[in-house]
Structure 1
Amino acid sequence: MKIALCSSALLALAMSCAHAAELSPVEQNIVAAIKARSPQALQLLEQSVNINSGTMNHDGVRAVGKLYRQELDQLGFATRWIDMPPAMRRAGHLVGTREGKQGKRLLLLGHLDTVFEKDSPVQLWQRNGDRVRGQGVNDMKGGDVVILEALRALKSAGALDNTTITVMFTGDEESAGEPIATSRADMVAAAKRSDIALAFEGTMRDQDGKDTGTIGRRSSSSWELEVKGKQGHSSTIFTDKAGYGAVYEAARILDGFRQQVIEPDLTFSAGLILGGTDASVDEAGTKGQAAGKTNVIARTALVHGDLRYLTYEQRDRAHAKMRAIVAQNLPGTSASISFRDAYPPMSPTPGNLAVLKVYSQASSDAGLGAIPALPPGQRGAGDIQFVASMVDSLDGLGVTGNGAHSPDEDLEIASIERATIRSALLIHRLTR
């Protein structure tokens, strides 16, 4: 159900919530339950972080899934593990559902995998006062714990009764299995049965240090440039007969991109370049070989790059400009470019903003401050983007930390409680 029908209702809900000056008795019980369990929430996070679950460590991903499945079972969800076809080389996904008849139907998204594979030297868990370092501690096992603890508090207050909630923990968010149509088929199906999607990637702070909500995320896509030149003696380069060679033509194209394909929230990066008499890239597109001599004009050049955009209209403009630049070849050269979409964009919409307003009001009512929207250009790709075109969506509901994907990844321990309170109140207000 697309949100053209739901947005007006959500906007009305956001406005009605704006008049709430304090928490209801049920909401006070929810907050109290969360605060009482803060030590246990940290223990659950430690338990899950201490299981390596790099995307390609399938046993580890399944082990984290088993841990979370036990939690969902205790909360009364009907759970199942979805295996992926063996050829996809991905562990699968955990899904929990409950059915009811009141309020909005919610899809809650987290992921089990991290970027730290089994041989990673990064320490699993290390507490330093009020902060914790570890593999995936904020991206996004901290957010996963927020989901579970928010649902637990709602259940303790009797606020889960008669609600429709689907929880999906994917096993390959950091490197989505291909084909995408298969690896995200169950997520898309769940979105079609939902009204709103909430994702629990880490909470990012704005330039004023305020926690934010994510109403838009840029796509993740790629491009490949292939350039051809005339091989010949280097002493003849730049002549009409010999031309400019493939490397100079590749340089002209890339600089043309830099100067002419600039607009807000659009980025493009050349991540791999090879040139010479011969050049080739491996099947994965991450390694290659090149051969040439200083006295030979380069015959070939290959460039692989990344393109991120906020809307499909922005993508189409970028593609058109890039193709035009590629077509303006230097003498004696030719070039072609191809594009490949991966994660679709999560475009900011009035419906997304309406959900943020409910979230912000809940945070304010709990004494945790208002939540502004994060500028969409500051966020990369995430799972919610596969369903954002179908339902109103909000991301960034997880914990607050630093250094995601790096050896210094950490989180602020107090942010677990803050994020859980906000999320539980948001879920309650959307489903009551």
Structure 2
Amino acid sequence: MSFVQPPGPASLASADAGALSPTAQTVLDWLAAQQPAMTALLAQIVNIDSGSGHEDGTRAVAALLRARLESAGIAVQTLPEPGWGDCLLARVPGSDAAARGHLQLMGHMDTVFPLGTAAQRPWRVEDGKAYGPGVADMKSGLVMNVFVAEALARFGGNASPVHLLFTCDEEVGSPACRHVIRQHVQGARAVLNAEPGRISGNVVNERKGSYRIDFEVHGVAAHAGINPAQGASAIDALARKILALHALTGCELGITVNVGFVQGGMASNVVAPLASAHADLRYTAENDLQAVLARIQAIIEEESLPRTRGRIIESRGALPMARTPDDILECYQRSAALAGFAVEAESTGGAADSGITSDMGIPSLCALGPVGGYPHSEREFCDLSTFVPRAQALALTLMALR
């Protein structure tokens, strides 16, 4: 893949802005004028509850985004996912008929918040920051992608076709939509994922994968005062397993294990016959996942205490995103500089759908959306001042990739 840098600085305030190609300058000027429209669309979709599994909500978000794309003449498909909602697939043609593959923009429409959250704390703006459920993770990135696609559809400048794919179950590990991603992203030459820019402004060039392992421990009930020796405490055995699981952190560079949820027992005067827990594993693309999972399974299933036994109930995971090739990151950094800001890259322990595309062997760069902070919490915000520059940087990157 080759990279062509648009000539001249793209900052609208720059005296040298005229050195840009006419098409690039038109795209940047148009995006700069769209801040009110971007904000209005973002407010609309933030005020729609679209938690994972809330079909009506994700469909409503998809309908609004689809309407904007179609108003720009962009071909859009709705891909129903029963139990989750709709996915959206859109395509913007490129100018080079001989281009091999397409460039893929990605995002997810679901959030972590339950039904009713949007009514409890709807969209609001304070000191240039927007607040509301999913405003950063990742509804602002969806809106940014839509407007960048619209700019390219209106004015051109992209040699390769640009495809958009918005899914509806990412926050729970994409159990249904991972097959949609594998089907429709296949053949892409690069993936640019609009997860929120880090609070520092950085993008993400490497992500850990994650595994959640739900397990339970069985013991033997007994009266804690009269005949405790006849019992075998599942809680005691679970505590020993937790210590052993936590000791796996650092067994390989990049590995962390955390037991973040436990429950069990019947009453304080009963030797506990049952306890359960959820363990979280984080790992990198370089780690031997199967070896680590085997060690976890052995700890869970070993007889930590006589007459107790453990078993895994369920496990599910999200794939890691391998480090982004330097040339793609540098292309984005040059484009960002042209849009008036400097950006660095960092790795993160959080997983995303870019792990799926990375596993497919497609170079992926993540966290290109507007800058935000504190996702998955009531403090979640999007810095609205970054909307236009991040959109401009993405558009220039798509025009530079060949």
Go from structure 1 to structure 2 and tell me whether the alpha carbon gap of 1:322 and 1:81 turns closer, same or farther (over 3 Å shift).
same
SS in 1 for 2:264: strand
**Structure 2: unaligned runs, 5 residues or longer:** 11-19
Q: Matches of 2:294 and 2:329 in 1, distance apart?
A: 34
1:151 aligns with 2:149: yes
Q: 1:226 to 1:71 in 2, by over 3 A?
A: same
Query: 1:52-107 deviations in whole A, cap 9, x for unaligned?
Result: 3333432232222121112222333221111123xxx1112111124443555111
**Do the aligned partners of residues 97 and 260 (structure 1) sit closer, same or farther apart at CA in structure 2, a change above 3 Å counting?**
closer
The residue that corresponds to 1:247 in the other structure is: 235
Residues 192, 232 of structure 1: alpha-carbon distance in 2 compared, 3 angstrom cutoff? same
Q: How far apart in 2 are the matches of 1:233 and 1:47? A: 58
How has the CA–CA distance of structure 1 residues 122 and 422 changed in structure 2, closer, same or farther, with 3 Å as cutoff? farther
Residue pairs, 1:3-402, within 5 angstroms: 9=1, 13=3, 17=5, 22=9, 24-25=20-21, 26-85=23-82, 89-100=83-94, 101=97, 103=99, 105-120=102-117, 121-160=119-158, 163-175=160-172, 180=175, 182-205=176-199, 209=200, 211-234=201-224, 242=230, 245-262=233-250, 263-276=252-265, 291-294=266-269, 296-311=270-285, 313-326=287-300, 327=302, 329-337=304-312, 340-349=315-324, 351=325, 353-369=326-342, 371-377=343-349, 380-390=350-360, 391-402=362-373
Q: 1:266 and 1:75 mapped to 2: Cα distance?
A: 46
User: Could you report, residue by residue, the CA deviation over 1:14-44 in whole angstroms, capped at 9, with x for unpaired residues?
Assistant: xx75x97645323333222221222222222
Percent identical among aligned pairs is: 28
Q: Secondary structure at the match of 1:214?
A: strand
Measure, in 2, the Cα distance between the counterparts of 1:244 and 1:56: 40
Distance in 2, matches of 1:412 and 1:270, equals 33
Kept in 1: contact 2:58–2:84 (CA 8 A): no
Q: In structure 2, what is the Cα distance between the partners aligned to 1:82 and 1:159?
A: 28
Aligned-pair Cα RMSD in Å = 2.8
CA distance in 2, matches of 1:95, 1:249: 49
Give the deviation of 1:147 after TM superposition. 0.7
358-367 vs 147-156, which moves further: 147-156
Q: Deviations over 1:284-331 (max 9, x none)?
A: xxxxxxx2452x433332222222222373433432333444436333
**Residue 422 in structure 1 maps to residue 397 in structure 2:** no
Instruction: Quickly say closer, same or farther: Cα 1:340–1:30, change in 2 above 3 A.
Output: same
Distance in 2 separating the partners of 1:60 and 1:229: 43
| SS of alignment partner, residue 205 of structure 2 | coil
Partner secondary structure for residue 374 of structure 1: strand
Q: Give 2:207's aligned amino acid.
A: R
Q: What displacement does 1:382 show?
A: 1.8
Identify the structure with the greater strand proportion: 2
Gap runs ≥5 in structure 1: 1-8, 277-290
- The Cα offsets for residues 210-248 of structure 1, whole Å up to 9 and x where unpaired, read as x21212222232213332334445469897xx5753221
After TM superposition, the structure 1 = structure 2 runs for residues 402-421 of structure 1, keeping only pairs within 5 Å, are 402-421=373-392
Give the whole-Å Cα distance in 2 for the aligned partners of 1:230 and 1:270.
Answer: 23
- Which residue of structure 1 aligns with residue 16 of structure 2? none
Q: Is the partner of 1:94 in helix, strand or coil?
A: strand
Q: Which moved more, 1:75-84 or 1:95-104?
A: 95-104
TM norm structure 1: 0.80
AA paired with 1:218? K
Question: Paired residues, what number?
Answer: 385
Shift of 1:400: 1.1
Q: Distance in 2 between matches of 1:186 and 1:325?
A: 35
The Cα of 1:385 is off from its aligned counterpart by 2.0
Structure 1 position 203, deviation (Å): 0.1
In 2: Cα distance, 1:57 partner to 1:300 partner: 33
The alignment's TM-score, normalised by the length of structure 2, stands at: 0.85
Residues 38 and 417 of structure 1 are in contact (CA less than 8 Å); yes or no, is this contact kept in structure 2? yes
Q: Cα 1:164–1:312, aligned 2, differ >3 Å: closer, same or farther? A: same
Contact 1:202–1:401, Cα closer than 8 Å, also in 2:
yes
Q: 1:111 to 1:254 in 2, by over 3 A?
A: same
Contact 1:139 1:202 in 2 (8 A): yes
Q: Secondary structure at the match of 1:44?
A: helix
CA distance in 2, matches of 1:314, 1:96: 36
- Contact persistence 2:222–2:228 (CA under 8 A): no
